[in-house]
Every structure is written in structure tokens, then in C-alpha cells.
Amino acid sequence: MHKLTTALAVAALGIAAAARSLPAWPQTIVHASLEKHGKMPRLSACPARFDDSLSTNGIAPIGIVPGVNQPRAVWAPEAAFTDKARKEIHKRAMFPFRSVSTIAVVVDPNGVPRDLCVQKSAEFDLDKAAAESVWEYRFQPATKDGKPVAKRLSVEVKFLMN
């Protein structure tokens, strides 16, 4: 039996507590944010370091930023194994199979992902499947002083097959 789980890892410390402090978001916004927003751009490796700052490029950096509430996923579809990966895993009898792809993403003020890149690569070219899944995510955006802001975060997509 094949199992596939997707986990969202926003940051390592206290994000769950920060997410609980977010104000209630109007349901109409959540429904509107579930619409497709276009074709996923070409996927590349992340730079060694991001130079994000709300004052310079308008993006809150990865991790906890004082005064900025974290984005929270409201729609997070699971990633699917590619046929190529499935065949290779069966061919090599690699059971149980576990792999993780970490995708860095900017959640814009509308809660839509943009600027995806691969921070940590998974086996068998599963990064593209992970990124396609993250591209479909929708978020309650990060806020600063009650106003939505762009925020960079890391999303871990876990691939499991027993």
C-alpha cells in the first residue's frame, strides 16, 4: 500500500503558537484564494542565502520575525509520486521508501505562493512533484500591524511508500 503525506514546516520554533494568534480571516477571501493562479514557473535551486527584509524587498525572512504573524496554510494538497519515481522504487525494492523535499516559497499578501526554489532535494526527481503541490497551496497571509505582508517560508514535502 502506498502512503504519501505532505507536511508543512513553516519554521522550526514556535510557529504553531504564532499561527494561533492570527486574526480570523473572512471565508470569502479563503474561497477566492483557492482558485488557480497560473502555470508554475521553472524550478531552480535556492541561493545559499536569502537577503529578505520588509524594508528592502518587502518580504519578511524565513523564521520568526518580531511583530510579524506567520502565514497559515488553508489549502495544502498532497504531492503525488511521479511514475518514474514509483518505477525506480519498485525496481530497486526500496521499501519502506522515505524522502523529503524542502521548498522555499514566498507567500504574497494575497496568500498565494510565488518564487519557489528547492532548498533540499528529494530522491528520483520528486522535487518537481513537491513544487507542483506547493504551488497549489493557499495561505492565510502573514500580517504585520494587522496588514498582510509577503513572507518567505520553508515547506517540507514528505514522500512515504511502504
Per residue in 28-61, pLDDT tens?
333 333 444 567 778 899 999 999 999 999 999 9
Cα–Cα distances in angstroms (integers) from residue 159 to residues 5, 22, 155, in the given order = 6, 30, 13
Q: What is the pLDDT of residue 38?
A: 67
Q: What is the pLDDT of residue 40?
A: 72
Fold (CATH) for 15-22+40-161: TolA/TonB C-terminal domain (3.30.2420)
Sign of CA dihedral 133, 135, 141, 144: positive
Q: What span, in angstroms and rounded, lies between the C-alpha atoms of 132 and 141?
A: 20
In the predicted model, residues of the chain with pLDDT beneath 50 are 1-36
Q: To which residue does cell 477571501 refer?
A: 29
Q: What is the pLDDT of residue 13?
A: 27
| Amino acid, res. 93 | A
- Closest by Cα among 94, 91, 153 to 122: 94
Q: What span, in angstroms and rounded, lies between the C-alpha atoms of 120 and 103?
A: 7
